[in-house]
Amino acid sequence: MSLEAEIENCGKIHDILAEHWNWAYYDTAHSDTSWLLAEYVNRLKSDIEDRVPTIINELTDILEDYKDESFSILDVGCGVGGFLKRTLTVMPEKFPLVAFKASGIDISDEMIVYARKNLHGLDVELFCESITDRALKFKNEPFDIAILMVTLSFYNDENAKEILCSIHDRLNEDGLIVVMDFAWSYKWSGFKLFSKPLQRLTDMFFSHLLGESFRFNNRNEEQLLALLNEAGFEVVKSYLSEKKSGMKGMQVIRARVK
Ligand SMILES: C[S@@+](CC[C@H](N)C(=O)[O-])C[C@H]1O[C@@H](n2cnc3c(N)ncnc32)[C@H](O)[C@@H]1O
């Protein structure tokens, strides 16, 4: 499928999900859901409560040794702005000598409407575009770090690589990327009995939302690392966010520009 077609599908899915993402971060009301969407929505809140602190910990670790006066962050697929809001609340308190500059981008109009509301009053540049739009220039570019949370799985390998290359080209020469993405297949793939039904369930959920057939790209750690490598990144660390079970959680990868 072409990049444009995948962007369009992904945008439609997230337009539908935006009110639920906003509920997950900010407890706002959302409309009634089908049973399938209700299952997803119920999981979303606890997932987010695990995911955001993991990335904040990564940022904290990176900034411990940081010497510059300013630090620029790009959130790719920023959704309702939940991560940027928490970052801009927590990080300046932890690192008062660093001036934080933030930008966010998302292809979903509905997500960006929420992000603008949620980030109102904060100095954040927001775009409703695809990161792959090469004509787009951010005022904070080149960035010290890009965050890419739970976005690559909506794209096939070729298009996911294009997304990573577009990010790579917007980073400083020693810039970093932190990717967080689905990882269950990495352990579950050993259990063919479970991995196939789980893949089907995920595909069924997104196809149901989209109203047409959709394939969700579950990758294992090795595949994610290969994509980053091909896009010009050198992996610094890679781990599962849920250490105890190894069956749940997300793969978290920190990589730097090669
Ligand atoms: C699963 S949501 C995650 C939202 C947010 N990162 C979070 O974790 O709260 C993925 C987001 O990526 C956005 N997205 C997908 N492809 C994109 C692209 N090519 N450029 C910018 N944003 C994109 C979607 O619209 C969606 O809001």
- Average confidence score pLDDT of the chain: 90
CATH class of 3-62+79-233: alpha beta
Q: Is pLDDT at 73 greater than 90 in this prediction? A: yes
111 lines ligand 1 (CB under 6 A): yes
Amino acid at 224: L
Answer yes or no: is the C-beta of 147 below 6 A from any ligand 1 atom. Answer: no
pLDDT of residue 50: 82
Q: What is the mean pLDDT of residues 6-12?
A: 96
Cα pseudo-dihedral 7, 235, 196, 38, rounded to 10: -60
Read off the pLDDT of residues 235-251 as tens digits, 9 standing for 90 and up. 999 988 876 555 556 88
Q: Is 250 in the pocket of ligand 1 (CB under 6 A)?
A: no
- pLDDT, one tens digit per residue, over 105-115 is 999 999 999 99
Q: Would you say residue 187 has pLDDT above 70? A: no
pLDDT for 96 equals: 94
Non-local (6+) Cβ contacts of 161 within 8 A are 227, 230, 231
pLDDT for 168: 98
Rounded to whole angstroms, the Cα distance separating 224 from 83 reads 22
* pLDDT of res. 39: 76
Per-residue model confidence (pLDDT) at position 236: 96
pTM of the model: 0.94
What is the tens place of the pLDDT at every residue in 192-230? 666 677 777 788 888 888 888 888 888 888 899 999 999
Query: Which atom of ligand 1 is found nearest the CA of 106?
Result: 22
Taking 3-state DSSP, the helix, strand and coil percentages for the chain, each rounded to the nearest 5, stand at 50, 20, 30
Out of 75-79, 166-170, 212-216, least confident range: 212-216
H-state helical runs in 35-190? 35-64, 82-94, 109-118, 157-168, 184-188
Q: Separation of 193 CA from ligand 1 center, angstroms?
A: 30
Neighbours of 216 (CB within 10 A): 16
- The phi and psi torsions of 101 (rounded to 5 degrees) equal -120, 135
Q: Cα(9) to centroid of ligand 1, in Å? A: 12
Nearest protein CA to atom 13 of ligand 1, as residue: 77
Nearest atom within ligand 1 for CA of residue 11: 25
Sorted by sequence, the CB contacts under 8 Å of residue 106 that are 6+ apart come out as: 14, 77, 78, 79, 112, 115, 126, 127, 128
pLDDT digits (tens, 9 = 90+) for 96-140: 999 999 999 999 999 999 999 999 999 999 999 999 999 999 999
Q: What is the arithmetic mean of pLDDT over 176-180?
A: 97
Is residue 14 lining ligand 1, measured as CB closer than 6 Å? yes
As a whole number, mean pLDDT of residues 81-86 equals 96
User: Which residues, 6 or more positions from 116, have their beta carbon under 8 angstroms from its beta carbon?
Assistant: 81, 126
Q: What is the residue with the minimal CA distance to atom 19 of ligand 1? A: 130
